[in-house]
Structures are given as C-alpha cells and as structure tokens.
Chains A and B, each alone.
Chain A
C-alpha cells in the first residue's frame, strides 16, 4: 500500500529565507508523487508532480522538489519565502496498480514571519 508521511505539522520561516517541507513516501510500485497547496477555505491546487522523469521537479510559484529513491523522500523547497506562501501543504502519492487514487499526507502548515 502507498502512503506518505509529512515530518513536520508546522513550519515557520522569515520572509526571504528558504523553505523546506519534508515528505517521506512508501510505495510498492514506482510512485507518482505530488505536492498540493491549500489556502484557507479553498480547494487544493497542484504545485508540482513527479512521474519518473527528471528527479528534480520544478513547480509553480518558485517551488521545486527532489525525488530521492534511496531516501524515499520527496521534499519541497523554495529559495526565498514570500508572505503569500503561507498556506497548508500536502504531499501525496499515487500508484497505477489499482484505482489511481491519490493518498495525501496529514499536511504541513507553513507560516511566514515578516
């Protein structure tokens, strides 16, 4: 079965400093991995996805993530945080072995200090 673990429930950084949101995955198959963002009272928006092409994936709004099979990790990074980045971030995994459902982690709340 597929699963993801988000290692931090809350991350706080200062505006202009780097962001690191950590995610480890577990999958019996070659996984597809995703990062979604959710702003308050909104649905989820796809930031980026990994589907076995390049291990470094670039997404929207300056975010990127690196797939590391040896570490079973898919951490999300951004070089310089902006106030508008404050939101909830979800790591997710899917497998094409069955129903192609996406399994989400429990989320990391990102706060940005002025």
Chain B
C-alpha cells in the first residue's frame, strides 16, 4: 500500500506565473483535500475533492483551482502567483468524510 505522494517537492516561481502541484492519493481513498501552510502557521484549508467534484472550499480566491481525476489523484493550480503564496502545500487523502486525513510531505513553493 503506497501512501500519499506529492510532486514536485520544491519549486521556485516568480510573481504572476502559474503553478501546478500534483498529488497521488493513498490506495482506496476517494477524497483529496489541499492545505496551505505558511511558515510558522497551521495548515489552512483550500478545498476538498470527492469523486472528482469540489466538495467544500476555504477562504481562498478563485485563482486557486483544482481537479480530481478518475483514479482519485489530484492537481492544485494557482494562477497569477503572489509573494504571499509562498508556502508548503499539503495534500491529504481520506475515505469519504471520515475526517482521518493521511498527508503527503508537501510541495514547498517559493514565489520571488
């Protein structure tokens, strides 16, 4: 059984660019949640996908968007990057609404 994997692990972008982060969910999990964790802060909920549909969204602007694929893997897209988008982006998978999240190690994004 493989755990949650994220790619890339680190990346650097400049303001105004676009980024795509990828997540493979744990085997048997049909729900993926994305979180943003700024340095020294707790993870902030971005959105959740359940069976390829967005199933809840946090307080993030529309330039944060996502997808979930039939194999339950997921992408997080961020357009028009801003300096404050610099953070660790965490993906977590789960089975439905059980609330028990299994996290990947994250993608660390630096925006210059």
Contact = CB atoms under 8 A, between A and B. Distances in A.
Contacts, number: 62
Contacts of A96: 97, 99
Interface in A79-114: 90, 94, 96, 98-107
A100 B56 contact: yes
A44 to B, nearest CB: 4
Contacts of B48: 99-101
B104 interface: yes
B42 A104 contact: yes
Contacts of A100: 48, 55-56, 96-99
Residues of B in contact with A, size category: 20 to 34
A101 B33 contact: yes
B86 to A, nearest CB: 16
A46 B35 CA distance: 15
A28 interface: no
A44 B42 CA distance: 11
Contacts of A94: 99
A102 B99 contact: yes
Interface in A19-72: 32, 34, 36, 41-46, 49, 51
B44 to A, nearest CB: 8
Interface of A: 32, 34, 36, 41-46, 49, 51, 90, 94, 96, 98-107
Interface of B: 4, 33, 35, 40-45, 48, 55-58, 90, 92, 96-106
User: Nearest 4 A-B pairs (CB), nearest first?
Assistant: A99-B56, A100-B97, A43-B103, A104-B42
